[in-house]
Amino acid sequence: VVEEEEVQVTPNRCLSCKKRVGLTGFKCRCGMVFCGIHRYPEQHACAFDFKGMGKQQIAKANPLVK
C-alpha cells in the first residue's frame, strides 16, 4: 500500500481554517502550517505517528547490550 503525502498548496495559510498566518504560522511535525488555534495535533486531526517516533527514539538511544 502506497501512501500519498499531502502537500500544502498555500504555505502562508492555515490548512484547517485557511486563515492567513504569515510569520506566525506553526509548522507541525506532519509538515503542514497551522494558525494559533489549530497548531496542536488534537485540533487539526494530525496523522503523524508520535508514539512510533517516541519508540524509535528510545530504541535508538538505548541499544541492546549482550
Name residues whose C-beta falls within 8 Å of residue 17's C-beta, 6 or more positions apart in sequence.
35, 37, 38
Distance between CA 33 and CA 21 in Å, rounded?
A: 8
Domain-located, residue 57:
yes
pLDDT reported for residue 8 = 80
- Nearest CA to 43 out of 20, 17, 66 is that of 17
51: domain CATH number is: 4.10.1110.10
Q: Is the pLDDT of residue 9 over 60?
A: yes
The overall average pLDDT reported for the chain is 88
Query: Which cell goes with 30?
Result: 506532519
Residue 45 is part of which domain span? 9-66
Name the domain count of the chain.
Answer: 1
pTM: 0.72
pLDDT reported for residue 10 = 85
Mean pLDDT of 9-32: 92
List, as own/partner pairs, every contact residues 11-17 make where C-beta atoms lie below 8 angstroms and the sequence separation is at least 24, other chains included: 14/38, 15/44, 16/43, 16/44
Domain-located, residue 3:
no
